[in-house]
């Protein structure tokens, strides 16, 4: 990066910082929803909530750019609670309309998990809408494992025992040792797109097969992320991965688009 680029970069970063301050009050945030599909039945099994930000000065800012800044500034706690509240409420509206799907997945930052009142906040939101706990899956990343301690493991275990599912996101991209799986309570592994991008290589295939067989033995569910082509889908089906999320089936969708997909996809369920 040369001097001008560095200046532009730091200007943009400080603008993002400024603009993030009242982002909730300014009504600039919204959520897109991406379906997770069972490829055997072609049904939507879950929906992941993905945060979006359209700012009056900066335009649309990717979460890849603003989430780390929100984490640095601790704003992520308020943003995270906002997403949890909105996504759960919306998903529960869909569920009550009778659409078929099992879970809504919400990304949770390690900074949120480090806060003392994380579990309390989470349960408060669920109780506010009277939602069954097993309707929610939280997605955590290997990042939380770096400084995990017994207290946090106990807290996550309590969350899991309360009925909420825990998914380990971006699985395989961190540098932690696999031995953490012994300690961390996990229901679902989300295999990162990086494996899928290289799925034609024998090594990637072997790795995915290994993860699938490990997951079966450990009774984890598997979701493969970033599936974009029919060829990838077929290879994954042969390996035994049956739940996928990716552009091949659907990009993240607006509320209305997601509802339309729910209407045509699984039909309506009587609950």
Q: Residues in the site for Ca ion, rule: CB under 5 A?
A: 107, 139, 169-170, 225
Look at residue 83 and give the partner it binds from ligand C2E, Ca ion, none, a contact being a CB closer than 5 to 8 Å depending on partner kind: ligand C2E
Q: What is the 3-state secondary structure (H, E, C) of 103-149?
A: EEEEECCHHHHHCCCHHHHHHHHHHHCCCCHHHEEEEEEHHHHCCCC
What does residue 138 show for φ and ψ, rounded to 5 degrees? -100, 140
Structure-block tokens of residue 106: 């919400």
Nearest to 178 by CA among 217, 224, 232, 136: 217
Residue 78: which H helix or E strand, with range?
Answer: helix 76-96
Residue placing its CB nearer to Ca ion in the complex, 28 or 192: 192
CB of 256 to ligand C2E, least distance (A): 18
Q: Which stretch binds ligand C2E (CB under 6 A): 22-30, 118-126, 178-186, 242-250?
A: 242-250
Which is nearer to ligand C2E, 27 or 179 (by Cβ)?
A: 27
Query: By the 8 A CB rule, do 211 and 222 touch?
Result: yes
CB of 44 to Ca ion, least distance (A): 16
Contacted entry of ligand C2E, Ca ion, none for residue 226, CB cut-off 5 to 8 Å set by kind: ligand C2E
Q: Does 254 bind ligand C2E (CB under 6 A)?
A: no
Applying CB under 6 A, does 50 fall inside the site for ligand C2E? yes
For residue 194, give the 3-state DSSP assignment: helix
Q: % helix / strand / coil in the chain, to the nearest 5?
A: 50, 20, 30
Residue tagged 């889908």 (tokens): 233
Burial class (CB in 10 A: 0-12, 13-18, 19+), 185: middle
Which of these ranges, 61-69, 114-122, 150-158, 181-189, lies near ligand C2E under the rule CB under 6 A? 61-69
The end-to-end CA distance of the chain, in Å, is 56
Is the CB of 226 or the CB of 266 nearer to ligand C2E? 226
Residue with tokens 């400024």: 18
Given 95, 252, 262, 266, the residue binding ligand C2E (CB under 6 A): 252
d(CA 107, CA 218): 23
Q: Which is nearer to ligand C2E, 80 or 266 (CB)?
A: 80
* 188 belongs to the binding site for ligand C2E (CB under 6 A): no
Complex with Ca ion: residue 17 or 30, whichever CB lies closer: 30
- Taking CB under 6 A as the criterion, the residue among 39, 45, 90, 107 binding ligand C2E is 107
Pick one of Ca ion, ligand C2E, none as the site partner of residue 259 (Cβ within 5 to 8 A by kind). Answer: none
Site string for ligand C2E, 27-46 (x = CB under 6 A): -------x------------
Task: Give the shortest CB-104-to-Ca ion separation in angstroms.
Answer: 12
Residue 170 binds to ligand C2E (criterion: CB under 6 A): yes
């Amino acid at each position: 990066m040369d001097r001008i680029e560095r200046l532009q970069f730091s200007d943009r970063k400080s603008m993002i910082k400024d603009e993030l301050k009242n982002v909730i009050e300014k009504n600039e945030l919204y959520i897109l929803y991406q379906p997770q599909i069972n490829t055997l039945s072609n049904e939507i099994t879950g929906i992941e909530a993905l945060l979006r930000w359209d700012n009056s000065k900066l335009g649309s800012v990717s979460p890849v750019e603003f989430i780390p800044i929100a984490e640095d500034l601790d704003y992520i706690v308020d943003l995270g609670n906002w997403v949890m509240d909105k996504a759960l409420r919306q998903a529960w509206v869909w569920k009550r309309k009778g659409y078929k799907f099992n879970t809504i997945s919400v990304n949770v930052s390690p900074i949120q998990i480090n806060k003392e009142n994380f579990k309390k906040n989470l349960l408060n939101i669920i109780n506010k809408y009277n939602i069954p706990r097993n309707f929610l899956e939280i997605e955590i990343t290997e990042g939380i494992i770096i400084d995990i301690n017994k207290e946090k493991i106990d807290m996550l275990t309590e969350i899991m025992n309360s009925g909420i599912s825990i998914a380990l996101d971006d699985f395989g991209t961190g540098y932690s040792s696999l031995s953490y799986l012994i300690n961390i309570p996990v229901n679902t592994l989300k295999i990162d797109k990086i494996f899928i991008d290289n799925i034609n290589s024998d090594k990637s295939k072997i790795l995915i097969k290994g993860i699938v067989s490990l997951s079966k033995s450990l009774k984890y569910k598997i979701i493969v992320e970033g599936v974009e082509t029919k060829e990838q889908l077929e290879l994954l089906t042969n390996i035994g991965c049956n739940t996928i999320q990716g552009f091949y089936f659907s990009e993240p969708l607006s509320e209305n688009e997601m509802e339309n997909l729910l209407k045509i996809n699984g039909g309506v369920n009587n609950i």
